[in-house]
Structure 1
Amino acid sequence: MALKKTIDVQAAVAIAAAEAIAAKTQGTFGVGGLMLDQHGNVLQSLHNNVVKDGLIFDPTAHGERQLIDWYYAERAKGRDLPAPQDITIVTSLDPCCMCAGAILAGGFNVVVAAPDKSAGINYDNSASFTALPENLRAQAGDSFSYPAILGSSLYARASMGATPKSFFIGKTISEPTQALCSLVFEATSAEVMEKFNIDLPQKALKDPATLPAGHAIVRALKQQYPDALTYRCTPHQPDAGLAPFLRQAMARDREHGGAGDAVAVLDSFGNLLLCMPGRMAQSGIRSAFMETTRAYAQLRYKLMNGATPAQQDEVRHYLGHPKDGTFVFAKGPDAGAVSFMNLGAYGSTIEGPLPLKNPAQFQYVLPTLPEAELAAICAALPPLYRNIIRIRPTQVADAALVGALSEVA
């Protein structure tokens, strides 16, 4: 099959805009993108898939993240694809922290159309990338391109960041195409964000540990993670009883090409729902957190998709939004690209303010950075993450749990 070719930034952005329109039609965030090789051949084009069938499908299913996982999956099948530094991702919207981290972790190039003043990595329109940890800024400056938009409207801008790859003959974006990319996203953003806020308040949630073993929700949980509901702690206070589950997942993470991380999901009652490793050997961005948050969202989606309103309501009562529970990371964030991706993916999972009574929703057992350095990374994040979601990873309080994991780290 002949590959479609585009050697013009404008034409490439037009393809991304068409994908964004398809996303809007689907009822998800209006963002799209494509992946080009070093000759301008279109390898793949995709759009946001956070929402499907009116339900949250996968909070990590942004266009750029999906393109990168597609790339790794194709290479795993034996397809001869260029190295990441010879690949260019063209996206209709400035990458969020998750996608920026994924792009940097893989070493890809990116061409960006519309700005995102709330969650974009270039939210301040300076191409200085101060939202990134200092050790990643030069790489972003060398690989993130913001082509000129010629004209006199509010969409006009001078070129900034890296120069688009040399195969691009035309290196500017037209004002109408830029406006389309911006407006399609703006037309969907509030509506999709609302879908993250239709879950029940914590006081209305019901304890899944009270359900019979044969109940569909329990069966689905056990199918996803056989040890679901076998551990329970005081809500939001993981203790040493969680250690065996984390240690088992950490060992599997190493088997799967990772550094020995694992992430557990505890619900608002303190029940263990999931504890998963990453799959870094399959894809350099399939971290333990990416696997865990995706698995929990897709578990809920599969139970609710096609179900009656009463059945959907029951799922929401027993499997609440993760903001009311706790994510427990075996290892705390560091200053690398994968950790930055995880911080962004956590933001995309929470997608709004944390409950005031659960400020320590994001906990880790073993620190990898001094607390002040981690706090500085979080304080520099774009406005959505630092001001609205208020991402604040905190170390677990239980010394016995820290000790139990220190033995295997």
Structure 2
Amino acid sequence: MNSSSLPARPVYTQVTHAVARAADMATQAYGQGTFSVGGTLLDPLGNELKAIHNNVVVNGLTHDPTAHGERQLIDWYYAQLAQGITLPPPAEMTIVTSLDPCCMCTGAILAAGFKVVSGAFDDFAGINYNRQASFPSLSPGLRRQAQTRYAYPAVTGSARGFARPATGTALSAPFAAGQTVDQADVALCQALFQATVNQVKNTINTDLAADQLHDPATLPADDPLILALKAIDPAALTYRAPARGLPDAGLAPHLQAAARVDLTQGGSGNAVALLDPFGNLLLCMPGHEHVSPLQTAFMRLTRSYAALREQLINNPAIGAEKTRRYLGHPKHGTWVFAKGPDDSARSLMELGAFGSTMEGAVPSENPVPLQYVVPGMSPTALTAWCQQLPPFYSRCVVVNPLQVQSQALIAAMTPTL
């Protein structure tokens, strides 16, 4: 099979029309009640292969915290390859998005190798938050890649705040016939996002505080909630940390087993565990990077936990009240990586996805929600890098991974990683 097997799609040879298409998808996101961002994936001739919008929120619930338009487009691309459809390599493809990509999507884009054209700026979470296309959040190697792949085309018009010169890399095919974007298209992209960002956050901010949560380990073994949890990970609730945020060597076998699977499935041997505020192991997962470079352990785990909560909330036999009482918002949990972040695109994607999963500031009673066992880079360099992330991550969520305190856990994991 080849790309001709895909349904007929529009063709874009002017960038303003492609940005308008992204804005149209953002409008559909607005109608769904999710963050109003949209995008389209174009082949080298400007043929639209797929258009999609943000799907973080569905029916007023967090459906998938990673379901940004760009991430979905990239996973769609790899899903087509898995079905035997021949598509051009990522370096020849262009993602046109209504809003500057966040850290998660930038990590995904750079890891896969796509080109990007952005409509509106995002001064809070966008990778180009300083609007200079200097990408201070990226390591030198990733910065060079972004500067050759990210385009912010000139915007025509006289309206203050929207007209701009071109920055980033020069536009290439398929946009030879039109190199500029009309200010009305950019203004629409910006307005749509601003119209929903706070509204959506308020809609989904219905979870309980940590002191209102109940321990799921107190439920009977045959409780439907427990059975649903164990259907994802049979080892759920078989480990309990001695205190909140303090995993010990008892977690090592779970991380080791998942890391071994990760290696066989195209990953680097990483694994991620989620502990609840009571110290219970909820889920521990490997990645599926043989399917897509975006399917890392953390990406799978955060999506799986969100899907589980959505499923249980919508299950009449369990419902929202019980689900929220026993399976709290992930911002109350402790996420433990077998291997810590490095300065790769994959780690940027995961740190960005962690920020999206938190959906805002982490509660003060959970000071170390993101931990790792074996470092991927020096702690000093990691802290400095996180402090350079866009404001949403560095100042709101305050992404700051720290090594676990348990020397026994570190000693148990180090030889295997």
Shorter-chain TM-score above 0.5: yes
Partner of 1:297: 306
Q: Is the 8 A contact 2:119 2:189 kept in 1?
A: yes
Report how many residues are paired: 408
For the structure 1 residues 195 and 329, does the alpha-carbon distance in structure 2 shift closer, same or farther, using more than 3 Å as the test? farther
Give the secondary-structure state (helix, strand or coil) at the position aligned to 2:416.
Answer: coil
Tell me how far apart the structure 2 counterparts of residues 339 and 147 of structure 1 sit (CA, whole Å).
28
Partner of 1:112: 118
Runs of 4+ in 1 over 3 A off after TM superposition: none
Partner of 1:263: 272
Q: 1:280 aligns with which of 274, 289, 305?
A: 289
Q: 1:166 aligns with which of 173, 181, 200?
A: 173
Tell me how far apart the structure 1 counterparts of residues 388 and 204 of structure 2 sit (CA, whole Å).
25
Give the AA of the match of 2:272.
V
Q: 2:34 aligns with which of 28, 40, 44?
A: 28
User: Which structure 2 residues correspond to residues 316-335 of structure 1 after superposition, within 5 A?
Assistant: 316-335=324-343
Q: Is the 8 A contact 1:53 1:305 kept in 2?
A: no
Give the secondary-structure state (helix, strand or coil) at the position aligned to 1:3.
Answer: coil
Q: Is the 8 A contact 1:303 1:315 kept in 2?
A: yes
User: Per-residue displacement from partner, 1:230-268 (whole Å, max 9, x unpaired)?
Assistant: 110121100000001000000010011000000000000
Give the secondary-structure state (helix, strand or coil) at the position aligned to 2:119.
Answer: strand
Cα drift, residue 407 of structure 1: 1.6
Tell me how far apart the structure 2 counterparts of residues 392 and 194 of structure 1 sit (CA, whole Å).
25
Tell me how far apart the structure 2 counterparts of residues 382 and 354 of structure 1 sit (CA, whole Å).
16
Give the AA of the match of 2:395.
N
Cα drift, residue 211 of structure 1: 0.6
For the structure 1 residues 227 and 306, does the alpha-carbon distance in structure 2 shift closer, same or farther, using more than 3 Å as the test? closer
Cα drift, residue 135 of structure 1: 2.0
TM-score (structure 1 length as normaliser): 0.98
Tell me how far apart the structure 2 counterparts of residues 227 and 2 of structure 1 sit (CA, whole Å).
46
User: Per-residue displacement from partner, 1:116-156 (whole Å, max 9, x unpaired)?
Assistant: 01000001100000111222101000000001111111211
Matched, 1:96 2:105: no
Give the secondary-structure state (helix, strand or coil) at the position aligned to 1:265.
Answer: strand
Partner of 1:252: 261
Cα drift, residue 323 of structure 1: 1.3
Tell me how far apart the structure 2 counterparts of residues 278 and 113 of structure 1 sit (CA, whole Å).
32
User: Per-residue displacement from partner, 1:320-374 (whole Å, max 9, x unpaired)?
Assistant: 0111110000000000000000010000000211111211100000001011110
Give the AA of the match of 1:190.
N
Q: 2:129 aligns with which of 94, 115, 123?
A: 123
Tell me how far apart the structure 2 counterparts of residues 3 and 53 of structure 1 sit (CA, whole Å).
28
Q: Is the 8 A contact 1:56 1:195 kept in 2?
A: no
Cα drift, residue 294 of structure 1: 0.5
Matched, 1:81 2:57: no
Give the secondary-structure state (helix, strand or coil) at the position aligned to 2:283.
Answer: strand
**Which structure 1 residue ranges, 5 or more long, are not aligned?**
none
Give the AA of the match of 2:111.
A
Once superposed, what is the RMSD of the aligned Cα atoms?
1.1
Give the secondary-structure state (helix, strand or coil) at the position aligned to 1:264.
Answer: strand
Cα drift, residue 193 of structure 1: 1.7
Q: Is the 8 A contact 2:12 2:174 kept in 1?
A: no
Cα drift, residue 14 of structure 1: 1.1
User: Per-residue displacement from partner, 1:38-70 (whole Å, max 9, x unpaired)?
Assistant: 011100000000000110000000000000000
Give the AA of the match of 1:203.
D
Partner of 1:395: 403
**Which structure 2 residue ranges, 5 or more long, are not aligned?**
1-6
